[in-house]
Amino acid sequence: MKKISLFLILSAIVLTGCSSSKHSLSNRFYKESIDYCDYTPYVNKGFLFSEANSVKFDYQEIGSLYGVVFSGIREQESGRYTPGSPDYIRYATLQNALDMMYKKAVELGADGIINLKYEYSFTEDVMVISGVAIKK
């Protein structure tokens, strides 16, 4: 009798463990998403963004850039943003990160960024970006 009871308890534990792992996605909806970042405004100003770690022309390295953009509540500008309004929260995007990198690179005298890397953390709602500022 003890063997049967032990078998039933172990079977229940194993079956319960298996059933919960099968349905781990049951609280998430299927979603597809694609984002696009337009380099045209930068190219029109003679600025280069490249994910390649080297380019086929002579350049001088200015320095490494690393940035982080956090999603969050906008700073209030004369009461313009109110809780619940569409503009209340600003989300971290690749375009925001590129704008930030571009401004800093130009400030340093660079006219390009190579070895551009970026990653979005969904758990932290943060865009991380890095690259090497260069002068062509």
pTM: 0.69
Distances (CA, A) of 130 to 75, 111, 114: 25, 15, 9
Identify the CATH number of the domain defined by range 31-135: 3.30.110.70
pLDDT, position 4: 58
pLDDT band at 29 (very low <50, low <70, confident <90, very high): confident
Domain ranges of the chain: 31-135
pLDDT band at 31 (very low <50, low <70, confident <90, very high): confident
pLDDT tens digits for range 58-95: 999 999 999 999 998 877 665 666 666 666 788 888 99
pLDDT, position 49: 94
- Pairing state between β 89-90 and 112-121: unpaired
pLDDT, position 84: 66
Which three-class secondary structure state does DSSP give residue 120? strand
Is the separation of the CB atoms in 100 and 69 below 8 Å?
Answer: yes
